[in-house]
Amino acid sequence: MVSELIDELYEAAFIPEKWSVALARVTAAAASKGGALFVFADGQPNRGKAIAPLQSLMDEVLADVRLSTAATRMNTIRPASFVDVDSFMTPAEIRDDPIRIRLRALGLGAHACTAIPMPSGEMAMFVFQRGQDDGSYRDEHFTILDRLRPDLARASLAAARLGLEHARGAVDALAMMGLPAAVLAANGRVKITNALFDREHTLFVPTAFGRVALANPESNRLFQLALQATSGTHVPRSIPLQNAAAAAMVVHVLPLKRDAHDLFSGGDLLIVATAISASALVPSPTILTGLFDLTPAEVGLATALAKGLNLAAAAAEAGLQFSTVRTYLSRIFRKTGTNQQSQLVALLKSTHPFQGLRP
């Protein structure tokens, strides 16, 4: 079931040895035979996990990602949804890619890939492979993978910030990283907080019965929906929060499942606030669109607006009807907790001057 698969992803977010099993479940759900997660960051070693049979090959790629033409190409393109990797490579490149040669020897063929920018500046990349005799990825496979993409994003966020290490004592570890965090019970009651969370009075507000709310009303509406959502429910779980007295942040709601539930003293939810900081790898505004479950079309519109285009100009640039763009904008408002175009642009430009997307 999808809900069980999603539970396994959030468990793996805090228990690194679970990643190979979680990736194997996603691999099977997408009619694939190989799967891997890469995490790239400025000035830091590449990291990653793969299904068990591919981990040794993954270690070789991590040692020098240039060994793989496909990985280098995808790191340049950074697709905002799952795409057919072979569509971005020539037949000769597919034939001669050293890693693809090794994968073919293992019976693996067509690749699907997506890139997910983290608010902290890392880039997570998920790659899945079909069996050589199974042909290319089809629309139904991409539909499954894209449905799981927001949960893959949030799980990989936690894994990236913890360096794919054990999450025992993670609330204090997150404080050492400069991240306010708290563990909540299923009813929203706060069980554990770190010192940074306790100091963020402009962001988090205590409420009745030991619960917590976000100071911004619209952000709090999304936050409460995330707290109340059952496993597998598709609601925003990464929520932008602006406050005049503090820098813009993103509040993430991560379910604690299975063994992760026990590691956090029986807590049901972990909430983490991450500051927004651009990097050479993830420039603004891409940094804000990776976790808000935006479609590629919505990402394009948000980017156009951040560049200073008005809605009519953005529609013309994309070759879309004005009414269609207005629909996209309404969806973006719902997902980002904003309700005006000026608020959205301010959110996208809140930490660094907009420099545009890399070509």
Write out pLDDT tens, residues 194-245: 888 988 888 899 999 889 999 888 888 889 988 888 666 777 788 877 665 5
Using one digit for the tens of pLDDT, what is the confidence trace for 36-74? 998 887 766 787 889 999 999 988 888 888 888 998 899
Domain that holds residue 207: 170-275
Q: How far apart are CA 152 and CA 158, in angstroms?
A: 10
> Does any domain span residue 354?
no
Residue with tokens 């507000």: 205
**Burial degree of 117 (CB within 10 A; 0-12, 13-18, 19+):** buried
The CATH number of the domain holding residue 184 is 3.30.450
Paired with 272 in beta bridges are: 181, 252
Whether the CA torsion 67, 68, 73, 79 is positive or negative: it is: negative
Q: Is residue 358 part of a domain?
A: no
Phi, psi of 190 (to 5 degrees): -75, 130
**Co-location of 146 and 197 in the same domain:** no
Please tell me what DSSP assigns to residue 71. H
| Contacts (Cβ under 8 Å, ≥6 apart) of 342 | none
- Residues 147 and 10 placed together within one structural domain of the fold: yes
- The answer on pLDDT for 111 being more than 90 is yes
Say if residue 309 is in the same domain as residue 205. Answer: no
Tell whether 136 and 185 lie within a shared domain.
Answer: no
Q: Are residues 119 and 221 in the same domain?
A: no
Q: Is the domain of 185 the same as that of 308?
A: no
Closest by CA position to 283, among listed 341, 180, 359: 359
- Phi and psi, residue 189, nearest 5°: -70, 135
DSSP state of 133: G
**Which of 99, 127, 161 corresponds to the end of one domain?**
161
Residues 267 and 294 in one domain: no
Residue 118 and residue 16 share a domain: yes
**122 belongs to a structural domain:** yes
- Give dist(CA 76, CA 88) in Å, integer: 11
User: Do residues 333 and 339 make contact, with C-beta atoms less than 8 angstroms apart?
Assistant: yes
Q: Determine the residue type at 207.
A: T
Structure tokens at 254: 């991560």
Q: What is the pTM of this model?
A: 0.64
Q: What does the pLDDT look like over 184-193, one tens digit per residue?
A: 888 888 888 8
Which of 175, 133, 160 is closest to 281 using CA atoms? Answer: 160
Categorize the per-residue pLDDT at 106 as very low, low, confident or very high, splitting at 50, 70 and 90.
very high
The rounded distance, in Å, linking the Cα atoms of 306 and 177 is 29
| Rounded CA separation 301/305 (Å) | 6
DSSP 203: T
Enclosing H/E stretch for 152: helix 139-161
Mark whether 178 and 91 lie in a shared domain.
Answer: no
- Mean pLDDT, residues 84-103 taken together: 94
In a domain, 26, yes or no: yes
For 233-279, the DSSP string reads -----EEEEEETTEEEEEEEEEE--HHHHHHTTT-SEEEEEEE----
63/218 Cα distance (integer angstroms) = 44
CB atoms within 10 A of CB 72: 13
CB atoms within 10 A of CB 299: 21
pLDDT-above-70 percentage for the chain: 81
- Asked whether residue 95 is domain-assigned, the answer is yes
Of 251, 275, 299, which marks where a domain is finished?
275
Residue 178 and residue 196 in contact, taking contact as beta carbons nearer than 8 Å: yes
Same domain? 38 vs 138: yes
pLDDT band at 128 (very low <50, low <70, confident <90, very high): very high
Domains of the chain: total: 3
In-domain check, residue 317 = yes
pLDDT at residue 355 above 80? no
Distances (CA, A) of 168 to 27, 107, 173, 264, 274: 28, 38, 9, 8, 20
- 224 and 248, same domain (yes or no): yes
Residue where a domain stops, chosen among 222, 248, 275: 275
* Nearest C-alpha neighbor of 237 from the set 258, 223, 248, 256: 223
Report pLDDT digits (tens) over 19-38.
999 999 999 999 999 999 98
Question: 104 with 67, same domain?
Answer: yes
The CATH number assigned to the domain holding 306 equals 1.10.10.10
Mean pLDDT across the chain, nearest whole number? 82
294 pLDDT more than 50: yes
